[in-house]
A and B are shown apart, each in its own frame.
Chain A
């Protein structure tokens, strides 16, 4: 297959994935809407019957799965077209990041039954992919010499996976705070009844962070090893490195706060959001407006 046709194929996969993500979003939106209107309040007030919305919710999950597979194919063919790992510029980071987030969601869906996350997950993936194909798109090209390293593959894949899971933890912490507000004022609205208890949300975001914190640590270290090979120093306080460090410190603080000081619930959720936003800031702000060795030609 020629590089050009692989690049075209990759684009088509990504466009189709976007269509299916949109369908998934729609299905989940309908699911939520119906669960507001139709649950039959049987025997007692608190018992809601969601069987009518169940089918459309499952359809949504199927769409999410298909869209993830399409996106996966898109990322793979992008790599084939450039004869390298597809992590050379911001367009490629975005599609791979969206893929990682999508897989993290599917994992959470399978393991923790978190279909309620689908609505924010699908829309944010759509926005990421939309920005990527409209604003960030670059033709497929080989890497500049500094990016040619096995450590790039290791470093970036670890970073992207950690990022996907960090963001998922952020969504959960955000949900925690919203639900917490409602419960403070009284009770949850009907359409949020299906969501897990506050305590299990709190634990879930902690588990996710504890799960990927070692991976993020590893990613930072792999980056340092790569920097040592490419630039002659393993740490130079380049803006990108600095913010990776800040993210690391923020999550370490989160773990300390939870494990050793005993923060739970609201305070922990805010700290989680803070740590997650340092990651996003690094990705968006520093990649686009930052200076330093990590800026790639043409984003």
Chain B
């Protein structure tokens, strides 16, 4: 029996500690400190390649850091522990206060203290008529508690309302974030101009689902890439504007509509948005075998390497015997200098060049190990040639021939579904509203007490000035009334 009581009182003690202001303050500071390492170490969710590089550069240190979740700080157990504790503490403090606050809506201000002379703004004046003071204070919007010989008045309840609204909104934001990560999805699809995309899991190059999202819940739209225009600044070579024109229908098969997608202007279907995330060039080649039969034809997306869009890529021809691969780079505007060799001097295609080394052997496509589309694993291959082609040139490499016939643009569409973000947004707006109300409302009490003389005093909760003037006005008003 007593152990039950003990453990219960222990739990109660823990709860009180957790919801105390001091704990909240410490947790708040801890949360700030805990967020720091994530900005110092590369994070898997943002930059997996940099994490790999970190492992290569610091082979002995990296596994230890990894054990401490320092490459996944924001989903680590310790980071989650801090914010969960913080929010439990928040709820534990704010919910009871909210209930009390609601109960207090109709309540009267507290009784006038016995001794006013110890309080701020204490003044003694000649005896006045309390009715006048009561009327004046009521007119000014104070809640007034009138006793026979005293008045207790209070104004600024909205401060507490705002404060509670702010803290409850923080909880709403967190709920929104949680819904998004559990029920959302996010994927990438690389499409050449002319390609058609239907929103099913298999169409994606990369797709991740929230824990509780069902795979068949994707919005069933289709997108056909009609046109892509990039505009560059001729002095700095930096991009000015990208315009993607698509023809789209939701659900796929219904009437199609032309839509424009830009970097800050995604296409929206309910909670799903389609973003223009990246773009590049896809050189088009025709590869023929010794007999002159076409074994490969079409565009291959290349990965841009710098701001002038020199790009690297891999053209894989598995249908030849033996298999052939071209480890290539594409220069939209080819230029040369003695140190760097060939490079691109402008991001638009003005004088394109396709550079490649030719490899013969096993491309390893059937090995089951997923391969990068931009690279070729050449361990089981042998190099048989090296060449640079201008537009419409052909090169005969013995096993066959390759012709560089043109180029196309590709775009990376990022397709994100986040059913929680509206909650987060509403939470954010309410949070600001609550903050403004709570920080700019003056909560203050004024007491008037009748004795031999009349005593007036006041108390202001936050340090916004103005109470002194208010009391002076009151005194002026009621003294002149007589």
Q: Is the CB of A232 within 8 A of B241?
A: no
Q: Is the CB of B32 within 8 A of A253?
A: yes
Q: How far is the CB of B174 from chain A (nearest CB, A)?
A: 12
Q: How far is the CB of B206 from chain A (nearest CB, A)?
A: 13
CA distance A134 to B129 in the complex (A): 71
Q: How far is the CB of A140 from chain B (nearest CB, A)?
A: 10
Q: Is the CB of A146 within 8 A of B264?
A: yes
Q: Is the CB of A145 within 8 A of B39?
A: no
Report chain A residues within 8 Å CB of B439: 210-211, 213-214
From B50, B266, B429, give the contact of A232 (CB < 8 A).
B266
Stretch at the interface among B20-28, B61-69, B331-339: B20-28
For the residues of B in contact with A, the DSSP-based class is: mixed
CA distance A146 to B264 in the complex (A): 6
Given the known interface contacts A213-B435, A221-B428, the answer about A145 and B264 at a Cβ–Cβ threshold of 8 Å is yes
For A207, the closest partner residue in chain B by CB is B463
Q: How far is the CB of A111 from chain B (nearest CB, A)?
A: 11
Indicate with 1 or 0, residue by residue over A217-237, a CB within 8 angstroms of chain B CB atoms: 110010011101111111111
Q: Interface residue tally of chain A, by bracket? A: 35 or more
Tell yes or no: B4 within 8 A of A by CB. no
Interface residues of A in 220-271 (CB under 8 A from B): 221, 224-226, 228-239, 242-243, 245-246, 249-250, 252-253, 256-257, 259-261
Given the known interface contacts A146-B264, A230-B264, A237-B43, the answer about A252 and B432 at a Cβ–Cβ threshold of 8 Å is no
Q: Is the CB of A228 within 8 A of B421?
A: yes
Indicate with 1 or 0, residue by residue over A178-212, a CB within 8 angstroms of chain B CB atoms: 00000000000000000000000001001100110
Q: Is the CB of B28 within 8 A of A232?
A: no
Given the known interface contacts A232-B414, A253-B25, the answer about A214 and B436 at a Cβ–Cβ threshold of 8 Å is yes
Q: Is the CB of B236 within 8 A of A242?
A: no
Q: How far is the CB of B236 from chain A (nearest CB, A)?
A: 5
CA distance A226 to B263 in the complex (A): 11
Report chain B residues within 8 Å CB of A259: 462
Report chain A residues within 8 Å CB of B42: 291
Could you list which residues of chain B lie within 8 angstroms of chain A, going by C-beta atoms? 21-22, 24-25, 28-29, 31-32, 35-36, 38-39, 42-43, 45-47, 50, 73-74, 177, 186, 233, 235-236, 238-242, 262-266, 273, 275, 277, 307, 414, 416, 418, 421, 424-425, 428-429, 431-432, 435-436, 439, 462-464
16 contacts between A and B (CB under 8 A): A141-B236, A145-B240, A146-B263, A149-B264, A207-B464, A214-B435, A217-B432, A230-B275, A232-B273, A236-B46, A243-B39, A253-B32, A256-B25, A257-B25, A259-B462, A291-B42
